[in-house]
Amino acid sequence: MKNVDFWFILARFYSALYGFVKDYFGLHLRGLGFILRKIKTDRILDVNGRKLYFSHILSEAYSRSLNGRWNEPETHTFVRFILEHVKIVFVEVGANIGEILVDISANPFCEKSVAFEPNPFAVSVIEQNLELNAIKKFSCCGQGSWPREYYSKNVLWIAFAERLPLFD
């Protein structure tokens, strides 16, 4: 077994342990980032039916996705609930590797998605993730740029509440 494979297998095991301890005991285990930084090869991950490009350079962004789980499952659940009630333009500020963007953008009620990420390397990973999942209805803004066309759109955090039938 190659040394690289050893670190990836160890990271997957520790990621599963990390998720279990966090979910059931509310504790945050230390050390996963150290193990993730030892991985030196890129690969494709399968996370809840979506594909994520694993970049060893941004390895610390993949703590739970190594085991096919979203890093922030509560955020995915919340946004999916909203998407059951209204079509949106989804804007993610600080998109990092685009994990949430990939999941939400694939939903047919997401008219378009916009990612803002100032790290140009992370922007390239976002674009790879969207391409892997054949998502075409997105804009990716990096290094402080923002498309003017979205200033007045119904973006998720501004206007969704008044459009939900729950608030009639």
The answer to whether the beta carbons of residues 91 and 155 sit under 8 Å apart is yes
* Top mean-pLDDT range of 70-74, 75-79, 121-125, 128-132: 128-132
Query: Closest by alpha carbon to 155, among 127, 115, 118, 122?
Result: 115
Strands 50-54 and 43-47: antiparallel
Q: Identify the burial level of 113 via C-beta atoms within 10 angstroms of its C-beta, where 0-12 means exposed, 13-18 middle and 19 or more buried.
A: buried
Confidence of residue 2 (pLDDT cuts 50, 70, 90): low
The answer to whether the beta carbons of residues 111 and 139 sit under 8 Å apart is no
Output the pTM of the full model.
Answer: 0.78
Please state, for a pLDDT cut of 70, what percent of the chain lies above it.
82
Q: Which residues contact 69 (CB under 8 A, 6 or more apart)?
A: 19, 47, 48
Residue with tokens 């945050």: 28
Domains and CATH numbers, the chain: 3-67 (no CATH), 73-145+154-167 (3.40.50.150)
Give mean pLDDT, residues 9-29: 92
Give mean pLDDT, residues 8-21: 93
Q: Given a cut of 70, is residue 134 above it in pLDDT?
A: yes
pLDDT of residue 154: 42
Least confident span in 2-6, 121-125, 136-140, 154-158? 154-158
- Terminal Cα distance for the chain, rounded: 60
pLDDT of residue 47: 95
For residues 22 and 16, give the distance between their C-alpha atoms in angstroms, rounded to a whole number.
10
Q: Given a cut of 50, is residue 28 above it in pLDDT?
A: yes
- Side-chain-side CA neighbours of residue 80 (13 Å): 11
